[in-house]
Amino acid sequence: MRIVIPLFDGVTALDAVGPYEVLRMLPEAEVVFAAAAPGTHRDGAGALGLLATASFRDVTAADVLLVPGGPGARRGVTDEPLLDWIRRLHATTTWTTSVCTGSLLLGAAGLLDGLTATTHWSAVDLLESYGARYTARRVVEQPGGIITAAGVSSGIDMALRLAELIAGRVAAEAFQLAIEYDPQPPFDSGSYAKASDEAKAYLANRP
């Protein structure tokens, strides 16, 4: 069970790390963090470096491809070598998945045309520019093994569903227990539909 997670400068770390902490527990899981070149890649905020141990050239097949988002994913939509690699990997996968604006990379690679998909709430128009139909659901499963998740933290929910599909419900429930994922957010501001105008204005006006 080979799970491949691409990294790039400007990745949102939680997009990758949330699902990683679930999928790494799959039976005989081998997780590979890959990038254009091996080495440390800085996240979107710049304070955290994540290590890719393999290069895209060396990773030619996967059971699960999980594409994270972030500012680097938005920039990556014109990175033809990256998009080619995603297309080639996808031809080998059982599951091709994205978190947050990772869906833009799947879209730019031509994998979402005519499909229903999700992404971060701020990237809806971009997603639809690749021929996808956006839906404000948290995890969207489509034929061909394509699963997209909404913004950042939604990758944890997606990974639990994916774990169920791969290893069954008891295993997935065990992984949920292992990461003590019994979420109790102190507010109810986690979606664009629920957040207040004040919270949206605060976010829009951050330096």
* Residues in 111-140 at the binding interface with a copy of itself, rule: CB under 8 A: 120-121, 138-139
DSSP 11: B
Interacting residue with a copy of itself among 11, 13, 34, 108 (CB under 8 A): 13
Cβ count within 10 A of residue 189:
13
Q: Which CA distances in Å does 175 have to 8, 48, 124, 150?
A: 27, 26, 31, 21
CA distance 107 to 117: 10
* Residues in 149-188 at the binding interface with a copy of itself, rule: CB under 8 A: 150-154, 156-157, 160-161, 164, 169-174, 176-188
**Catalytic positions:** 100
Size of interface with a copy of itself, in residues (CB under 8 A): 68
Query: Distance between the two ends of the chain, CA-based, in angstroms?
Result: 42
Q: How far is the CB of 133 from a copy of itself (least distance, A)?
A: 19
**Site for a copy of itself contains 58 (CB under 8 A):** no
**Site for a copy of itself contains 47 (CB under 8 A):** yes
DSSP codes of every residue in 43-66: BTTSS-EEEE-EEGGG----SEEE
Cβ count within 10 A of residue 31:
17
Q: How far is the CB of 100 from a copy of itself (least distance, A)?
A: 8
What string marks each residue from 66 to 105 as x (binds a copy of itself by CB under 8 A) or -?
----------------------------------x-----
CA distance 45 to 71: 9
Binding residues for a copy of itself, per CB under 8 A?
A: 12-14, 17-18, 20-21, 24-25, 30-33, 40, 45, 47-51, 53, 100, 120-121, 138-139, 150-154, 156-157, 160-161, 164, 169-174, 176-192, 194-196, 198-200, 202-203, 206
